[in-house]
Structure 1
Amino acid sequence: MYNGELVKLRAYKEEDIERAVGFINDEEVKKLLDSNTPFPMTKWQEEEWIKSRKAGSDSTYDFAIEDLETGKYIGGCSINECDLKNRHCTIGIMIGDKEYWGKGYGSDALKVLIKFIFEELNMNKIKLGVFSFNSRAIACYKKVGFKEEGILKYELYRSGKYYDIVQMAIFKDEWI
């Protein structure tokens, strides 16, 4: 529905569920994505999550990320916590298919998502939090224009150790 150079952001399809379960239950993906205890998710839970998401609600928007060339579902991104009065929102992204890591698919998806947020939702600020050990994601966010706003010290407990969460943002007037 919304195209970049490498990806298309579109609605989730029922046939995405199997791959989505595989992505979310991959140990490395889950480590980079989920701040809760990394517990496996069932197919039923993922199916219910996808079905529960309302396309275009006032506070949440979810997109599947598809490879433009092959039509393959490779991940997802979302817009959450839309504050319509103050014009800011929080985003999340996951490239679950590891074959697509480090090849520009995440940054292309982010560019499409940012454009949608600023041009269609008329937001002024986009925020996100990223685990301090996720250097690949931090580099990707910086590549598309996000800047560090602060650090939540020792906010995440993972594998017997505490880690920081880096808060980042991009503003509409800086993006344009």
Structure 2
Amino acid sequence: MIKDDIFLRELERGDLSTINAWRADRSLVSLLGGNFRYVGREIDDKWFDGYLGSRVNNVRLAVCLKSSRELIGVTYLLGIDWLNRSAEFSIQIGAESARGRGFGEAAARSTLAHAFVDLNLHRIALNVLEGNARAISLYEKLGFRAEGLHRQAVFKDGRYLNVVCMALLSTEFSEPSSPPDGA
């Protein structure tokens, strides 16, 4: 099973060069809500320092292959609101060789299990480009429901794109039998 082939761990400073290379991949960035930008090492270091200072409200996880310990992606739970028990979810499988193989679904399920079971969150929301049918299909498979549409909310590749807002409640989530650990 694919979920047995990966594990999650907290992001580390040593991961930044790999993540930066993914950010420089225009075809990958075109699928994400963020815009393409050139990002230097000093900016990455400051970004990581900012994360370390805000860990109480943010979880940034590396998705790694058990066999090689290779970093293949990241998942995030951001802006955790402890009073309302909610957060924003995002995922990126950056390693091209790992895309389309089920690692994204396994990593998402494990991250959501962490959110709902370990952190006791109740609602996880996300935003996805309307044209990213593959991602929307995955989110629906995980139980996310569309809640709305931000019309022409993102400017990418010279045009404005719509963004679909989706969310999943803890009562709607089917937990995997055993989430991957930091093996």
TM-score w.r.t. length of structure 2: 0.86
What code does the residue aligned with 1:121 have?
Answer: L
Check the 8 A contact 2:75/2:90 in 1, yes or no. Answer: yes
Q: Does 1:103 align with 2:101?
A: yes
Q: How does 1:95-134 map onto structure 2 within 5 Å?
A: 95-134=93-132
Number of the residue aligned with 1:13: 12
Q: How does 1:16-35 map onto structure 2 within 5 Å?
A: 16-35=15-34
Number of the residue aligned with 2:181: none
Return structure 1 stretches of 4+ with deviation > 3 angstroms.
none
2:64 aligned to 55, 63, 66, which one?
Answer: 66
Aligned length: 173
Distance 1:66 1:56, change over 3 A: farther
Unpaired stretches in structure 1, ≥5 consecutive residues: none
Q: Does 1:173 align with 2:171?
A: yes
Task: Report how far residue 56 of structure 1 moved.
Answer: 7.8
For residues 145 and 44 of structure 1, the distance between their equivalents in structure 2, rounded to whole angstroms, comes to 38
Unpaired stretches in structure 2, ≥5 consecutive residues: 175-183
Task: Report how far residue 70 of structure 1 moved.
Answer: 2.0
Number of the residue aligned with 1:157: 155
For residues 7 and 51 of structure 1, the distance between their equivalents in structure 2, rounded to whole angstroms, comes to 26
For residues 35 and 16 of structure 1, the distance between their equivalents in structure 2, rounded to whole angstroms, comes to 20
TM-score w.r.t. length of structure 1: 0.90
For residues 80 and 142 of structure 1, the distance between their equivalents in structure 2, rounded to whole angstroms, comes to 20
RMSD after superposition: 1.9
* Secondary structure at the counterpart of residue 137 of structure 2: helix
Distance 1:115 1:55, change over 3 A: farther
